[in-house]
């Protein structure tokens, strides 16, 4: 009897609360309908671009974890410091110089020369808030390009030398090429590649290949780690200390890529949905391509190669995420997954260039590959171009090839000059004793894993 009494009263109470909630909400619903739209398109664009920029900034954590996990424990703190400086010092350099060189008033389509330190901003102007948001979005891209270099020169580079390189990438090397390809995004006349019709929607070449080719120059300049190659040139694997940490970094990067690619619209519209689809499929297909190819080549589905396959697919699809159909993204990502395994093996064993995390292959090689694929697989009805395989002719592919070659010439050339300069005047590589001891202790006076790390004389 008492149970029925309780049940009936509790049911009545829920019914009354439901009715009250409907009555209370009805004026608010009516008010929302009367005042719609609640958010202007301009403010929606700011909100979306800001959110995307925050996602891309979080990718710094992903890069840090990937590089830390794929290298040895004795250098973990050094990796953390380099990635931290890429964003902190790099943001300042991009604020003072980089943004102006990239988006300022163009000089012959080769360099921008206005707006240093955002000096042209008038706080009371209607466009000021959008300008500041756009700067923030572009600053995290600049940091991404710089941090690619970190992994390729890991475990043997002086910290002060790396800071100089990072500043040069964010303040000069990346912005100048960015002006060539994207200079008109801020309403200017644009760069010379842009005027040709070069397509790189979110930066397979502008961000990733530029960083990758500078990384290649750095890996050559600093030389291989002690013990990497025997006297007869045979390559020896130097395993990373924490594969789960590296895997977590890859998942964080994949997550952040949904700001990287869809956010490059800088517009809150319907295109961000299919760009996100293309981005996700590119990464997924890259994992499958790398896993299947590595399985066939090495006899096992190698974990680190598969993880790099994810990143390779994401990098490759970045240029054409606005132009590809979902099927085109699958093809591009899958082939990039295969390509990254081949590239890592060739660079490591044939060219004998020590790249501890595969940065050159993932970002330089697969960034160039993805940019070229736009000329083949740009699909009618998606973006603004039609690729060769859809009947679009050779013109788009030819322009893409020009952009890829220009990026290599500029980034590798300037990277070689930059590393040579630093090597001559500041020194580039730590002493062999410090390298064996570990850069955490030698360069920073601490250990990432206090009481755990064991120093050897290997």
Token pair in block for residue 217: 């120059």
Give the integer Cα–Cα distance in Å for 337 and 255: 18
In Å, how far are 279, 336, 339, 388 from 397, measured between CA atoms? Answer: 21, 17, 19, 7
Residue 427 predicted with pLDDT over 80: yes
Q: How high is the pLDDT of residue 2?
A: 41
Give the pLDDT band of residue 14 (cuts 50, 70, 90). low
Both tokens assigned to 249? 């970094």
pLDDT cut 90: percent of the chain above it: 84
pLDDT at 29: 43
Cβ neighbors of 226 (< 8 A, separation 6 or more) are 156, 432, 435, 436
CA distance 407 to 207: 10
What per-residue confidence (pLDDT) applies to 125? 77
Q: Over the stretch 48-98, which tens digit does the pLDDT of each residue have?
A: 999 999 999 999 999 999 999 999 999 999 999 999 999 999 999 999 999
Query: What's phi and psi for 111, nearest 5 deg?
Result: -160, 145
In this predicted structure, what is the pLDDT of residue 176? 98
Q: What pLDDT score does 37 carry?
A: 55
Task: Give residue limits of the domains in the chain.
Answer: 41-444
At 19 the pLDDT is 43
Q: What pLDDT was estimated at residue 3?
A: 38
**Of 125-129, 234-238, 326-330, 339-343, minimum mean pLDDT range:** 125-129
Span 344-402, pLDDT tens digits: 999 999 999 999 999 999 999 999 999 999 999 999 999 999 999 999 999 999 999 99
pLDDT value for 22 = 44
Cα 136 to the chain's mean position, in Å? 15
For the cut 80, the answer to whether the pLDDT of residue 11 exceeds it is no
Q: Which of 109-123, 200-214, 427-441 has the lowest mean pLDDT?
A: 109-123
275-319 pLDDT per residue, tens: 999 999 999 999 999 999 999 999 999 999 999 999 999 999 999
Peptide bond into 413 cis (omega under 30): no
Residue 368 · residue 205 · CB < 8 Å: yes
pLDDT for the residue numbered 244: 98
Residue with tokens 């996100």: 276
Share of the chain above pLDDT 70, in %: 90
pTM: 0.90
**Confidence class for position 239, pLDDT limits 50, 70, 90:** very high
User: What pLDDT, on the 0 to 100 scale, is given for residue 454?
Assistant: 52
Please tell me the predicted confidence (pLDDT) of residue 70. Answer: 97
Query: Does domain 41-444 fall into CATH 1.10.3430.10?
Result: yes
Residue given tokens 């200017």 in the structure block: 188
Which of 107-111, 119-123, 333-337, 385-389 shows the lowest mean pLDDT across its residues?
A: 119-123
The chain-wide mean pLDDT, for the chain, equals: 91
């Amino acid at each position: 009897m008492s149970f029925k009494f309780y049940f009936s009263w509790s049911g009545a109470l829920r019914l009354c609360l439901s009715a009250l909630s409907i009555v209370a909400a009805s004026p608010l619903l009516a008010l929302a309908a009367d005042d719609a739209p609640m958010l202007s398109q301009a403010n929606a664009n700011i909100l979306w671009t800001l959110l995307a920029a925050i996602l891309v900034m979080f990718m710094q954590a992903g890069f840090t974890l990937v590089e830390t996990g794929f290298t040895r424990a004795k250098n973990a703190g050094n990796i953390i410091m380099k990635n931290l400086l890429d964003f902190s010092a790099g943001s300042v350099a991009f604020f003072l110089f980089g943004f102006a060189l990239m988006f300022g008033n163009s000089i012959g389509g080769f360099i921008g020369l206005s707006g240093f330190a955002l000096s042209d901003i008038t706080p009371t102007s209607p466009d000021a808030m959008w300008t500041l948001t756009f700067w923030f979005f572009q600053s995290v891209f600049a940091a991404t390009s710089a941090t690619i270099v970190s992994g390729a020169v890991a475990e043997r580079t002086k910290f002060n030398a790396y800071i100089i390189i990072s500043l040069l990438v964010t303040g000069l090397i990346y912005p100048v090429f960015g002006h060539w390809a994207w200079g008109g995004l801020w309403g200017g006349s644009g760069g010379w590649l842009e005027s040709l019709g070069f397509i790189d929607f979110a930066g397979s070449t502008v961000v990733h290949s530029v960083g990758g080719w500078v990384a290649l120059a750095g890996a050559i300049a600093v030389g291989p780690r002690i013990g990497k190659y025997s006297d007869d040139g045979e390559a020896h694997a130097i395993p990373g200390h924490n594969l789960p940490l590296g895997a977590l970094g890859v998942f964080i990067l994949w997550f952040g890529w949904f700001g990287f690619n869809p956010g490059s619209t800088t517009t809150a519209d319907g295109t961000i949905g299919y760009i996100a689809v293309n981005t996700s499929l590119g990464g997924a297909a890259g994992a499958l391509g790398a896993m299947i190819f590595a399985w066939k080549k090495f006899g096992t589905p190698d974990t680190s190669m598969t993880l790099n396959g994810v990143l390779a697919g994401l990098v490759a699809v970045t240029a054409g995420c606005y132009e590809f159909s979902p099927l085109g993204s699958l093809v591009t990502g899958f082939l990039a997954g295969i390509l990254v395994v081949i590239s890592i093996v060739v660079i490591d064993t044939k060219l004998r260039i020590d790249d501890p995390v595969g940065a050159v292959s993932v970002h330089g090689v697969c960034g160039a590959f993805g940019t070229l694929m736009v000329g083949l697989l740009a699909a009618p009805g998606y973006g603004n171009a039609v690729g060769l395989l859809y009947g679009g002719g050779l013109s788009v592919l030819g322009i893409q090839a020009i952009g890829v070659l220009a990026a290599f010439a500029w980034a590798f050339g300037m990277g070689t000059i930059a590393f040579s300069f630093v090597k001559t005047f500041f020194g580039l590589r730590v002493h062999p004793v410090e390298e064996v001891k570990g850069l955490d202790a030698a360069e920073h006076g601490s250990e990432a894993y206090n009481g755990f790390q064991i120093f050897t004389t290997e």
